[in-house]
Amino acid sequence: METINTPIRRQVIDEAINELQIVDFSRATIREVKAIAAKAESVSGVEFIKMEMGVPGIPPSSVGVKAEIEALRNGIASLYPDINGLPELKEEASRFIKAFIDVDLRPEGCVPVTGSMQGTFASFLTCSQCDEKKDTILFIDPGFPVQKQQLVVMGQKYETFDVYDFRGEKLRAKLESYLEKGNISAIIYSNPNNPSWICLKDEELRIIGELATRYDVIVLEDLAYFAMDFRKDLSEPFRPPFQPSVAHYTDNYVLLISGSKAFSYAGQRIGVSCISDKLYHRAYPGLTKRYGGGTFGSVFIHRVLYALSSGTSHSAQYAMAAMLKAANDGRYNFLNEVKVYGERAKKLKEIFLKHGFHIVYDKDLNEPVADGFYFTIGYPGMSGGELARELMYYGVSAIPLVTTGSKQEGLRACTSFIKDHQYQQLDERMSLFAKNHPVA
């Protein structure tokens, strides 16, 4: 439908899309959407409301910055880090898991990585080499698109299903239909979920854990948005309620803890991959055949991570150790600093709903989905690709849900870059959008 009065001339957006040779906008990547928005903003002079990038939008933890500067001043940059990780970081990561998940995990299995992205890459590689018959990773989607790109890069197979229609007990049969084939080496999901912000409950995590044990599959639990389910206060160390985790229900797991979102420390690329005690010491025939020996943990560290980066930024490890210690000691409530994302999501949702949009992933079992870093929107009669492109003419950028593995039509919107003055802008632009796209 040809619309009028769009804040940005259609020609400007169309030319930017053509320059990138994007044939199907529903398949546009995060970086492509970002590039189109930047080009259109430059040409038109109209400020974009940018919701495509999942990048922290608040200052980094001062606790981490202070510790890293001190480490650099002490000359740490001249020394290679221990491939196993800084002992203080390993110790505090182990304490953090006890304090906020209520799970016991020894420090040896807490391994610093160059952001959770490297943690997933190393985990995918190691899991895929354990058993020659198990050559496929299973995604409980929607999820982070780049994790599938990692598997494409390494030439590994994956399967995926959208959890939208398989919440609660329905998850069991769906999951088992994949696991019973015998080719799945690992299951991956994020919790809270990127992009839907649903949070898997203990009953669902129990199902995942029980089936992982039965079918001898490793669970990769991506905790990039650690404890950011703001419907309950998960900020008190060593006191319930705790961050839900599959670690309560199986010994076959790797927890991926990131410094990027909860601590706003994304630029230094620091995270911790936490391997369960049993998995760390388990030998697999595939690993023995390939490397001549070793356990899952030793191969993960001394073979895979060593080959990828020979360790993780030395000074950033000091930052992460300090942030985790302060949180463990109750001196630093990291969730207080990131609650702003939930507040933004609430305001943004209200504006979209007022103008005829709907929340795609709106329910978390029987309760409304939490307000957080991401939310999902759709518009009647429009596919995700059509909606993403059409909103570009109104100076609003978001990514189609199809790129996240979702089967639903709509968009993922991120709250991190929203500025206070943009709520009024969004309200005005969506009012115009609704006028130009009347719902029958």
Q: Cis check for the bond before 195: say yes or no (omega within 30 of 0).
A: yes
Average pLDDT, integer, range 391-419: 95
pLDDT at 79: 96
Cβ atoms within 10 A of the Cβ of 152, count? 9
Q: Cis check for the bond before 241: say yes or no (omega within 30 of 0).
A: yes
- Distant-in-sequence, close-in-space partners of 292: CB < 8 Å, separation ≥ 6: none
In the chain, the domains with their CATH numbers are 10-58+334-436 (3.90.1150.100), 62-328 (3.40.640.10)
Average pLDDT, integer, range 314-326: 98
Q: What is the rounded distance in angstroms from the CA atom of residue 123 to the CA atom of residue 151?
A: 11
Q: What is the rounded distance in angstroms from the CA atom of residue 393 to the CA atom of residue 417?
A: 19
281-301 burial, b at 16+ Cβ within 10 Å, e below that, comes to ebebebbeeeeeebbbbbbbb
> Cα–Cα distances in Å, from 11 out to 64, 83, 195?
46, 52, 30
Closest to 194 (Cα-Cα) out of 53, 353, 306: 53
365 has a pLDDT exceeding 50? yes
DSSP code at position 411: E
98 has a pLDDT exceeding 90? yes
- Distant-in-sequence, close-in-space partners of 331: CB < 8 Å, separation ≥ 6: none
**Dihedral angle over CA of 426, 428, 430, 434, nearest 10:** 170
54 — pLDDT class (breaks 50, 70, 90): confident
How much is the pTM?
0.94
Q: What is the rounded distance in angstroms from the CA atom of residue 363 to the CA atom of residue 360?
A: 9
Q: Cis check for the bond before 192: say yes or no (omega within 30 of 0).
A: yes
Phi-psi region of 201 (alpha: psi -120 to 50; beta: other; left: phi over 0): beta
Residues 190-249 have pLDDT tens digits of 999 999 999 999 999 999 999 999 999 999 999 999 999 999 999 999 999 999 999 999
3 has a pLDDT exceeding 80? no
**Dihedral angle over CA of 108, 111, 112, 113, nearest 10:** 170
Closest to 50 (Cα-Cα) out of 418, 423, 431: 418
9 has a pLDDT exceeding 80? yes
- Distant-in-sequence, close-in-space partners of 202: CB < 8 Å, separation ≥ 6: 244, 248
pLDDT at 276: 98
Q: What is the rounded distance in angstroms from the CA atom of residue 284 to the CA atom of residue 130?
A: 5
Q: What is the rounded distance in angstroms from the CA atom of residue 316 to the CA atom of residue 311?
A: 11
Instruction: Kindly state the tokens that stand for 173.
Output: 């049969």
DSSP code at position 95: H
Average pLDDT, integer, range 132-148: 96
Instruction: Kindly state the tokens that stand for 184.
Output: 């799945």
HEC string of 227-253 equals CCCCCCCCCCCCCCCCCCCHHHCCCCE
Residues 255-304 have pLDDT tens digits of 999 999 999 999 999 999 999 999 999 999 999 999 999 999 999 999 99
Q: What angle do CA 285, 292, 148 make, to 5 degrees?
A: 60
pLDDT at 329: 98
Q: What is the rounded distance in angstroms from the CA atom of residue 255 to the CA atom of residue 223?
A: 7
- Distant-in-sequence, close-in-space partners of 35: CB < 8 Å, separation ≥ 6: 16, 20
Residues 425-435 have pLDDT tens digits of 999 999 999 99
1 has a pLDDT exceeding 70? no
Q: What angle do CA 183, 198, 146 make, to 5 degrees?
A: 55
pLDDT at 166: 97
What mean pLDDT value characterizes the chain? 96
pLDDT at 55: 86
> Given the DSSP bridges, would you call strands 363-364 and 367-368 parallel, antiparallel or unpaired?
antiparallel
Residues 13-48 have pLDDT tens digits of 999 999 999 889 988 888 899 999 999 999 999 999
Q: What is the rounded distance in angstroms from the CA atom of residue 420 to the CA atom of residue 172?
A: 43
Instruction: Kindly state the tokens that stand for 381.
Output: 């009669």
